[in-house]
Amino acid sequence: MKFNIQRFSDTITSSDNLQIEFGFVDGDTRTLNVPNPRNDLAASDVSAVDVWINNNLPIIGDKEGAITNGINSAIIIEKAVNKLDLS
Amino acid sequence: MATFNTKLTVTSVDANSNKKTTNIGYVNPDVEDGVLKELVNKLFSLSTNTVTEIAKVTTENITKAEYYEYKITPSSASYTLKNGEAHQVFAFTTNIPSDTENLNWQRDVSQMVGMGSVSYDKDAQSGTMEVYAYNNNVYTSTIKFYATINGVQASYPAYIDANVNPTE
């Protein structure tokens, strides 16, 4: 399996993001955040999207317009916010 | 040199109806909208959010600042041209030194219009450029007019809009 889904968590969670890094043939990378990833999300789900992107090339590089060579990594980020007691 | 960035702005809502905007930058402008819509659907199939709106936004990015040593004044003009009638004359001045060698003039047109002669007095640093209508169609042609030295662009261009309208 190409992708390892990892979770990084803290005590109070306010929002989650699926952070997907795309690679391009010129060596550049770009990160896209998809909000609120599914709880049952599996690496195979990301692989399926990766295959579709490689077949359809819907995104391009921002420097040379280079085509993408797919998803490099996918990580679930759990954003934790701890409110400080200021009293 | 200008480039274009086509991006998708995706609005989605979570289970509590909280709106979230996600930008997908640099989508391929050569693929059909249906493919872009499917891209959004594929990505949001990984999310519990529901997509409510997809906007396709194209912006122009200036990626290279152009610098030239000399200027043409005025830097823009607009004329209405009647077919077959007398030329319009664009009168201009420059700051090009009078002893400049191999000075020439280049005109690039966005659509066909008639080009008359360019007259330029090096010592007076002033000249004229003629333009006239070419056919009976109604259209606007933008003329990019600039100086070259040894064949290389040496001045900022002046842009002249030639509004061809045989009925006016």
| pLDDT tens per residue across span B114-127 | 777 899 999 999 99
Q: Which of A56, A73, A77 to mutate to test the interface with B (most CBs of B within 10 A)?
A: A56
By CB neighbour count within 10 A (0-12 exposed, 13-18 middle, 19+ buried), where does B123 fall?
Answer: exposed
* pLDDT at A84 (0 to 100): 75
Domains in chain B, start-ordered, CATH in brackets?
2-62 (3.10.20), 72-164 (2.60.40.10)
Measured between CA atoms, the residue of chain B closest to residue A74 is: B46
Q: Which residues, in sequence order, are bridge partners of residue A17?
A: A35, A77
- The most confident of B19-33, B43-57, B104-118, B139-153, by mean pLDDT: B43-57
More confident residue, A80 or B61: A80
Residue A10: pLDDT band with limits 50, 70, 90: very low
* pLDDT at B99 (0 to 100): 92
Which 8-state DSSP code applies to residue B37? H
* pLDDT at B37 (0 to 100): 95
More confident residue, A7 or B40: B40
Structure tokens of B42?
């594929």
Q: Tell me the chain B residues in contact with residue A67 when contact means C-beta distances shorter than 8 Å.
A: 28
- What tens digit of pLDDT does each residue of B56-109 get? 888 765 444 567 889 999 988 888 877 666 578 899 999 999 999 999 999 888
Angle between helices A43-56 and B33-44 (to 10 degrees): 170
- The most confident of B6-10, B22-26, B90-94, by mean pLDDT: B90-94
* Binary contact (B31, A57; C-beta < 8 A): yes
Q: Tell me the chain A residues in contact with residue B47 when contact means C-beta distances shorter than 8 Å.
A: 18, 34-38
B158-164 and B76-81: which strand pairing?
parallel
The closest of B19, A72, B17, A61 to B9, measured between CA atoms, is B19
- Closest by Cβ to B20, choosing from A35, A45, A48: A35
Q: What order do you get walking across the sheet with B126-132 strand by strand? A: B72-73, B88-94, B126-132, B114-121
- Pairwise CA distance, residues B29 & A85, whole Å: 50
Structure tokens of B11?
């609005």
The dihedral of CA B12, B14, B17, B23: what is its sign? negative
Q: Which of A22, A34, A71 to mutate to test the interface with B (most CBs of B within 10 A)?
A: A34
List residues in chain B touching A: CB distance below 8 A.
Answer: 3, 5, 12, 14, 20, 22, 24-28, 31, 35-36, 38-39, 42-49
- Pairwise CA distance, residues A57 & A29, whole Å: 15
Q: How large a percentage of chain A has pLDDT more than 90?
A: 40
Is residue B50 within 8 A of residue B18, CB to CB? The reply is no
Residue B161 has pLDDT above 90, yes or no: no
* pLDDT at A86 (0 to 100): 75
Q: What are phi and psi of B5, to 5 degrees?
A: -110, 115
- Average confidence (pLDDT) over A64-79: 85
- Pairwise CA distance, residues A33 & A16, whole Å: 9
* Binary contact (B27, A45; C-beta < 8 A): no
Q: From the CA of B97, how many Å to the nearest CA of chain A?
A: 38
Q: Tell me the chain A residues in contact with residue B24 when contact means C-beta distances shorter than 8 Å.
A: 32, 59
Structure tokens of A55?
């077949």
Task: Tell me the whole-structure pTM to 2 decimals.
Answer: 0.53
More confident residue, A3 or A8: A3
- Average confidence (pLDDT) over A54-78: 86
Q: From the CA of A74, how many Å to the nearest CA of chain B?
A: 11
